Structure formats: C-alpha cells, structure tokens
C-alpha cells in the first residue's frame, strides 16, 4: 500500500489528498494565483473545493488567512470571484 500525503485546508483545517483542494501559490515574483497544475512551483496554500471554505478564507472569520500564509497581500475580490466560478464549473 502506497503512502498518500495529505494536505490541509487553511480555512477549515480538513485533511485530504491534494486533488481535493484548490491550490493557490505565490510565484517567485510575488504574484498570487490559482495554480492550474498541482505541480507548479511557489509557496502554496490549499482550500477545499466548496464555497463555504473559499468565502470563509476571504470574507469571514478567517479573512486574511491566505495573505498570512503566502506572506503577500492578495487581491481578494479577483481571486474569490475566480474560485467561485471554478466551484460552479466543477462536477
């Protein structure tokens, strides 16, 4: 049986495989983006693929948690809108 590493959502602290999360990264140039590929390099955080966790990370009690872990300011409105769109499109 192969070992499968678990990742943790920064919003709800749920642990799961990385395919169950959105990954946001800070590139070496300091740009924050949603990783298209789970193998992209950069300091990263994981968020569950559900609206509640995403909104909590940017608007609710955990507001600013993504900026805290990525150690740079995040354009909240733009990222939040993109993540909500991705949630709507996912099966």
Q: What pTM was computed for the model? A: 0.86
pLDDT beyond 70 at 42: yes
Residue at 19 is within a domain: yes
Domain count, the chain: 1
Q: Across residues 8-35, what is the average pLDDT?
A: 92
Tell me if 1 is assigned to some domain.
no
- What residues make up the domain containing 62? 7-89
Residue 2 lies in a domain: no
Query: Considering the domain boundaries, does residue 80 fall inside one?
Result: yes
- Print the SS3 string covering the chain: CCCCCCEEECCCCCEECHHHEEEEEECCCCCEEECCCCCCCCEEEEEECCHHHHHHHHCCCCCCHHHHHHCCCCCHHHHHHHHHHHHHHCC
Q: Average model confidence (pLDDT) for the chain?
A: 88
Residue 41 is predicted with a pLDDT of 84
Q: What's the CATH code of the domain at 12? A: 3.30.1230.10
The pLDDT of residue 22: 92
Q: Is residue 75 part of a domain?
A: yes
């Amino acid at each position: 049986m192969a070992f499968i590493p678990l990742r943790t959502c920064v919003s709800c602290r749920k642990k799961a495989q990385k395919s169950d999360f959105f990954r946001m990264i800070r590139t070496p140039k300091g740009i924050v983006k949603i990783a298209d590929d789970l193998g992209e390099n950069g300091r990263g955080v994981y968020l569950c693929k559900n609206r509640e966790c995403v909104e909590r990370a940017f608007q609710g009690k955990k507001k600013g948690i993504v900026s805290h872990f990525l150690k740079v300011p995040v354009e909240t409105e733009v990222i939040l809108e993109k993540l909500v769109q991705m949630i709507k499109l996912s099966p």
